[in-house]
Amino acid sequence: MTDALRKFLSAFPALDRQEIEAVIDSMEIETYAKGTLLLREGEITSRCYFILKGCIREYQLLDGVEKNIAFFTEHQAVISYTSYLERAPSQHYYACLEDCVVLVGTREQEQALHKLYPRLEFLTQTILQKDYQQVQRQLAVMIRYGPEERYEHLLTTRPELLQRVPLHHLASFIGVTPESFSRIRKRVSR
């Protein structure tokens, strides 16, 4: 399973084999059952995850209703940056939508690795920048487009989610009710 992380890290030419192996050796592989909550609102986390297998959703509870923010699948990092970096209470939840196999690292492990291998800090910053860019792109889609265009964007950028994520979660993600989502799907499929 660590081959997936090795392949991911190898895409960063600034890292040599020793640094890649140090990252892999510092992380633990954990398995979580479908439905497991990895993080709850109000908790402070020092853990970050890299998905080897499975799907994790990020959501908030607003007036008792779950509002989906993001879905993470294989080869993606899952991290609550505010909680992880600032030691602040999380404002969202992470839940396993499938049985998941993840690599788990901690802030302390990350800092120790940065001391031993300073170039790893560059990797961390690169991943942070890519995540930030992705969040900005998703926010732009949510602001600029109506629900039908959001659904079409989802079809274009993450079509695998339609097979892996319950439709009511996808409806919440694009900001509509399950009934409206069904009507949008029918219109777009024609």
* Residue 15: its H or E element: none
Q: State the residue for tokens 């030419």.
A: 13
For 55-85, the pLDDT digits (tens) are: 999 999 999 999 999 999 998 889 998 999 8
What are the structural domains, with CATH classification, of the chain? Answer: 2-117 (2.60.120.10)
pLDDT greater than 80 at residue 136: yes
Q: Tell me the β-bridge partners of 93.
A: 59
Q: Pick the residue with more confidence: 127 or 39?
A: 39
pLDDT greater than 70 at residue 1: no
For 165-174, the pLDDT digits (tens) are: 999 999 999 9
**How many Å apart are CA 31 and CA 25, to the nearest integer?**
17
For 110-124, the pLDDT digits (tens) are: 889 889 888 888 877
- Predicted model pTM: 0.88
Is 119:131 a contact under the CB 8 Å cutoff? no
Residues in Cβ contact with 56 at an 8 Å cutoff, skipping those fewer than 6 apart: 38, 49, 71, 72, 78, 94, 95, 96, 97, 100, 102
Share of the chain above pLDDT 70, in %: 99
Q: State the residue for tokens 């020092």.
A: 46
Q: Pick the residue with more confidence: 135 or 42?
A: 42
What pLDDT does 87 receive?
A: 93
What pLDDT does 66 receive?
A: 95
Residues in Cβ contact with 116 at an 8 Å cutoff, skipping those fewer than 6 apart: 22
**How many Å apart are CA 93 and CA 9, to the nearest integer?**
27
